[in-house]
Amino acid sequence: MDPSSYALNYFLCALDYKGSISTPESRVAFVAGAVSELVHYGYLENAGNGQLLAGKPWDGGLPYLEPLYMAISSMDEPLTLHGIVLGLDIYCVDELLGCAGDFLISTGQLCEKQGDAYFPKEGIVASIIERTRSALTGGGDLADEGCCLAALLAGDGSIKAYLGDADAAIALSRIKELASTNNAIGAINWFIEAAALIMRNGG
C-alpha cells in the first residue's frame, strides 16, 4: 500500500465490525478522500463552482480509485458536488469501496474478505492511528497522509473515538490551522462540509 494514500488508510480505519463502510458520514468522508487524491495527482480538476471534470487521461496510477475517475470522466459535463453527494450509490461508491478493499487485499494489508466484507489485519489500524497521532501532536513536520487522514476522521465524527478527547482537540486545532495552506485538507473540509449541508437540506 502506498503510505501516502489517506483514502486507503481511511478505508481501513472506517471499516465497522461487519467489515463494511456503511454510514452516510463514512461514505462521504471516503469519497472526499478519493476526490482529493484524484485532484492532487491531476486525474480530476476543480472546474470551480463545486464542479469536477476529468484531468489527465487514466494511466492506472491509482488503481483503487479507478471507478470514481471513470464515473466522473464519462459525464458529458462537469459533475457537480451536489450530483456526487446525492448520487453516492449511482456513482459507483459500492464499486469504489470494493476496488479499494480488493487492492488492499492484494497488498497484504487486509487479512481476509468474506463476501463483500473486509477485515484488517490485527494491529494495522492501531499502527495507522498512532502514526497519525504522532504527526499531529508531536509538533514536527506533518505529512499530507497524516493530516488528511485526521481531517477525514474529523469529518465523519470518529476522531475522538480514535485519539481521545485531549489529542483530538490538538488535532482539530492543527487541522483548522492547516486548512488554509494545505490544499488537500482544504478540499476535504470543503467537500465534507458542503456534503453535510446538502444532506441536511435533503438535496
b/e map 6-19, b = 16+ CB within 10 Å: bbbbbbbbbbeeeb
Cα 60 vs. chain centroid, distance in angstroms?
19
State the pLDDT confidence band at 161, using cuts at 50, 70 and 90.
Answer: very high
Dihedral of the alpha carbons of 133, 194, 32, 40, in degrees to the nearest 10? -100
Global pTM value: 0.87
- Please check the confidence at residue 10 and state whether its pLDDT lies above 50: yes
Cβ 37 vs Cβ 21: under 8 Å: no
Tracing cell 494511466 back to the chain, one arrives at: 59
Cα 152 vs. chain centroid, distance in angstroms?
6
The ranges assigned to domains in the chain are: 6-200
pLDDT digits (tens, 9 = 90+) for 26-72: 988 898 889 888 888 999 887 777 778 888 999 999 999 999 888 88
Pick the CATH number of 6-200 from 3.40.109.10, 3.30.420.270, 1.20.1250.20, 1.10.3630.10: 1.10.3630.10
